[in-house]
Amino acid sequence: MAGKGIGMRLIEGKVAIVTGGSRGIGRAICEAFAGQGARVLFTYVSNDAAAEETLAALRGMGAEAEAMKGDAADSGFAGSVCARAKELWGRIDILVNNAGFARDGLLMRMKDADFDDVVRTNLNGAFYMMRGAAPLMMKQRSGRVINLSSVAGVSGNPGQANYAASKAGLIGLTKSAAKELGPRGITVNAIAPGLIETDMAAALTDEQRSHIEGAIALGRLGKAEEVANLILFLATDMAGYITGQTIGIDGGMAI
């Protein structure tokens, strides 16, 4: 689906915000949106080179695009991102809360900061962005919000109490927001990826990778573009009657 339109592109002229959009899944989302006619504002925390590369790629596709450096888990920055999108293009049609990270460790050894920082970025950050975008979407009486949860948020994972809690929290946030915002024509959904081919997966040993692939029905890790295609679908009019859902994209890991 990504980048392949027939006639009118799927989200032509829509304005999309993607947090954590400079690398990996985030970049794939930005490219999928740009390929289907959206104007894209993405955020990133620290890697200027990756952000510039992604920005050049989006503009090379003919898309209007901009990047903002900062922490989406900072409520002030989240507000400024939404304000910038309105300043540039007058609206916000799509919000993808992709920014997040993991800091794994056993429950009994986990430091306060390890728990707090992960929850703050993965859960609080999504809340701040949704709160910032909601007023404009409500005024428009339309909008799409997609939150990136995880298979860990659905089924838990040893050594990831902080990460799993943050991703499970996103599911509750998604359901509550869907009920609040639905009457204004705004859909709110979550997706729950399994292990995807990103920098994190590249750090796996051959033994770890083989063990994980053995637990996946399709016998392989997912691709960032496959996740982006699901998000693209949820951002289109085709998904207009889907809200409050958590959709797994894990190759059958959780079944």
Catalytic residue set: 163
How is 202-235 classified by DSSP, letter by letter? HTS-HHHHHHHHHTSTTSS-B-HHHHHHHHHHHH
Token pair, residue 204, equals 């796996």
Q: From CA 146, how far away is CA 232, in angstroms rounded?
A: 10
Taking a C-beta distance cutoff of 8 angstroms, is the pair 9, 37 a contact?
yes
* Residues linked to residue 101 through DSSP beta bridges, in sequence order: none
Give the distance, in angstroms, between the CA of residue 75 and the centroid of all CA atoms in the same chain. 17
- How does DSSP classify residue 115? H
